[in-house]
Structure 1
Amino acid sequence: MFYKIFTGLALITATSVMAQEVDKSDWPSSIVIGTGSPGATYAIYGQGLASIISNHVGVPTSTQQTQGPYQNVTLTQNGRIDIALTTMGPAYEAWVGESELAPGVQHNRLRAVAPMYISPFQMAALADSGLNELSDLEGKRVGLGPAGGSGAYWTRWFDKLGISVNASFGPFGDQMSQLSDRRLDAVGAAPGIPAAAYTELETMEPAHFFAFPAEAIETLAEEFPYLQPVVIPPETYRSLDGPVNTLGMWNFVLTHEDLPESLTYEITKAIFAYHDDLVASHGSARETLAENVVHNRFLPLHPGAERYYTEEGIELSPIENGAN
């Protein structure tokens, strides 16, 4: 009798396990993640994500160095890569057909998968410069990083604020050296916090970080759906004696709409199940939390990702749950 009961239970268990097995018949044999330049946050974060997908989802995954967010979204739209790491500014412009790389082409096959972290806009001068407000930068020599990166956005913010600066574009690290040498009056960027370049600057002399005026934060956040108010905590940099109010853009993991739903679900689940591994690869992943998916304000979720967040009880907006 015991043997018959045990056998019956074993058969039920085996049947249950088989029912839970994922159909992988339409899964690709490999996955490519578009990241960014060597050593940058995207390159490091992407390696961590690739390791999670390879080891825990079971699909060999590699990274491809690219020119960053603008190129990543276009490569994904065209099916050249499977997953894009991007800030939501370039994603929005591509979505509405205003990408600098593909003007007039609406990237309507992009789908959101998971939040990564927020990149606050940061602008600093040397503490003894006498520059205290963003308006003080009128006519000053201001480094804005690469022209195709956050520099393009800083230019817009200055235009909206009616501030005319003598803008300089180039690698962020080089511009920080120019600031230290006083060949530039201020340098702006949109890295994660704390930004190593600003921290290194502070080891040589104190810096001053500029805040956005409250009315500018409200106006810009309302006009641009990829912008959100951000507060840089005072403990972020040794030069701060209080919080700095600014604006930021979230970074997201995106994919093509044709990536199989079951695979996207498993990838989304693995990102959060192995969150500690992702944080170990790069500290910015501390903000890679399922509840932060609500910071996507315009891009539909991939159905596989949507299923995961629904199961987790996260309330999704009409945009996040796939409505256009």
Structure 2
Amino acid sequence: MKKKLALALSMVMILSLALTGCGNNDKGSNTSSTSGGSNTSASTSTPNNETPSGEKVDITIATGSTSANYYAIGNVMATVLNPVLTKGNIGVTSTGASAANVQLLQDNEVNFAIIQNDVAYYAATGTDLFDGEDPYEDWGALCALYDEVVQVFTLNPDIKTFTDLKGKTVSVGASGSGDNFAAGQIFAEFGMTFNDVNPVYQSYSDSAEGMKDGKIDAAFCVSGAPTTALVDLAATANKPLNVITLEDEHIENLMAAYPFYAKTVIPAGTYDGLDRDTTTVSIRAMLVCRNDVPEDVVYELMTAMFDNQASLADGHAKFKELSLEGAVAGVSIPYHPGAEKYLTEQGATLS
């Protein structure tokens, strides 16, 4: 039975990705959607609590790069949930991840997004990454999904500790990304700045390719572990992959300065060549949406996610972490009314 389900999911995923390649790409992003009935587009304002009878709202989820977890998770949601949704229809767009997704929400180019809880906090308060900007208030949280682990990875055997990065070529994340901001915070904790290294501003998927070619010594990745790009790197590189351990003292300082951080252990064997447990910090991936998405659309989506968790987990392992307790952990912005209604009915204690 599981083999049949996995085969079915695979076939639908292939179709979904094929449709992705055929979509419009005005802003350099890939969009996939599974049609179903009459749709209300993401740019249509629907402030009422319910959708008109017989209509479906286009749920357009901003994710991340095509090699990252956000994009894969969004596609699994579309594959598994679209057949059971009656009020919404999920499509997925590839983006520059968290910070870019906030802007897409603000511009009403998408109505849902997966973002990091620290980036959500900065956007909602107009601080740090969004310093000097008006706080963004036109959105709400659905739930936290899973841990986003800060992984400083390298194939260079001479890099064993964080301070060994000095003088090396280090990818500190794409400019303006959550990875880039986390990198800056951790550099500061170790009394360093980007001036102490030769900084490269790339996504971690591009960084993995550059590392394989010997152009980059180390790189930052803030993503669920295992991360696809790192799995591929570890499997194809001729050198052991190392993820740098952060000492407890530095972890405690980071958690005191930035309450969205948590201590996390990456188990040995997570990647080929990683032969020891690695201690680091993590943040949380969150699903959010615009406040003008009707309450019943969000409520139905939340219900479908939890009712079909096993099928979602068959499509992507990160859905194994979905739980009512975890859904409210680390949520850094107010909830959308539809999500609040669902979580309250299920007995969750909202943060």
What is the TM-score normalised by the length of structure 2? 0.75
Q: 2:298 aligns with which of 253, 264, 272?
A: 264
Q: Indicate conservation of the 8 Å contact 2:74/2:92, yes or no.
A: yes
Three-state SS of the structure 1 residue aligned to 2:328 is helix
Q: Which runs of 5+ in 2 are unaligned?
A: 1-48
Q: Indicate conservation of the 8 Å contact 1:48/1:277, yes or no.
A: no
**Are residues 1:43 and 2:75 paired?**
no
In terms of mean alpha carbon deviation, does 242-251 or 163-172 score higher?
163-172
Matches within 5 A, 1:222-237: 222-237=256-271
Residue 93 of structure 1: how far off its partner (Å): 1.4
For 2:318, the equivalent position in structure 1 comes to: 284
For 2:240, the equivalent position in structure 1 comes to: 206
CA RMSD of the aligned region, Å?
A: 2.6
Matches within 5 A, 1:70-149: 70-98=99-127, 103-126=132-155, 128-129=157-158, 131-149=159-177
**Percent of paired sites with the same residue:** 27
The one-letter code matched in structure 2 to 1:251 is A
**Are residues 1:185 and 2:214 paired?**
no
Three-state SS of the structure 2 residue aligned to 1:115 is strand
Residue 121 of structure 1: how far off its partner (Å): 0.8
The one-letter code matched in structure 2 to 1:249 is I
**Structure 1 residues 225 and 181 mapped into 2: Cα distance closer, same or farther (>3 Å)?**
same
CA distance in 2, matches of 1:104, 1:200: 38
Determine which structure has the larger helix proportion and give its number.
Answer: 1
**Are residues 1:196 and 2:225 paired?**
no
Residue 148 of structure 1: how far off its partner (Å): 2.9
Three-state SS of the structure 1 residue aligned to 2:293 is coil
For 1:246, the equivalent position in structure 2 comes to: 280
For 1:69, the equivalent position in structure 2 comes to: 98
**Structure 1 residues 312 and 29 mapped into 2: Cα distance closer, same or farther (>3 Å)?**
closer
The one-letter code matched in structure 2 to 1:139 is G
CA distance in 2, matches of 1:48, 1:126: 31
Q: Which runs of 5+ in 1 are unaligned?
A: 1-21, 318-324
For 2:339, the equivalent position in structure 1 comes to: 305
Three-state SS of the structure 2 residue aligned to 1:32 is strand
Q: Indicate conservation of the 8 Å contact 1:88/1:226, yes or no.
A: yes
Three-state SS of the structure 2 residue aligned to 1:33 is strand
In terms of mean alpha carbon deviation, does 168-177 or 287-296 score higher?
168-177
For 2:252, the equivalent position in structure 1 comes to: 218
Paired residue total: 295
Residue 312 of structure 1: how far off its partner (Å): 2.0
TM-superposition CA deviations, 1:282-301 (whole Å, max 9, x none): 22222222221232242112
The one-letter code matched in structure 2 to 1:50 is A
In terms of mean alpha carbon deviation, does 231-240 or 51-60 score higher?
51-60
The one-letter code matched in structure 2 to 1:170 is Q
Q: Indicate conservation of the 8 Å contact 1:115/1:289, yes or no.
A: no
Q: 2:307 aligns with which of 273, 293, 307?
A: 273
In terms of mean alpha carbon deviation, does 80-89 or 37-46 score higher?
37-46
For 1:167, the equivalent position in structure 2 comes to: 199
CA distance in 2, matches of 1:177, 1:190: 17
**Structure 1 residues 37 and 103 mapped into 2: Cα distance closer, same or farther (>3 Å)?**
farther
CA distance in 2, matches of 1:215, 1:182: 32
Three-state SS of the structure 1 residue aligned to 2:141 is strand
Q: Indicate conservation of the 8 Å contact 1:99/1:105, yes or no.
A: no
**Structure 1 residues 23 and 84 mapped into 2: Cα distance closer, same or farther (>3 Å)?**
closer
Q: Indicate conservation of the 8 Å contact 1:144/1:168, yes or no.
A: yes
The one-letter code matched in structure 1 to 2:104 is L
TM-superposition CA deviations, 1:86-125 (whole Å, max 9, x none): 1122211111114757941211122110222222111123
TM-superposition CA deviations, 1:297-322 (whole Å, max 9, x none): 421122221222222222223xxxxx
CA distance in 1, matches of 2:331, 2:72: 26
Greater Rg over alpha carbons, structure = 1
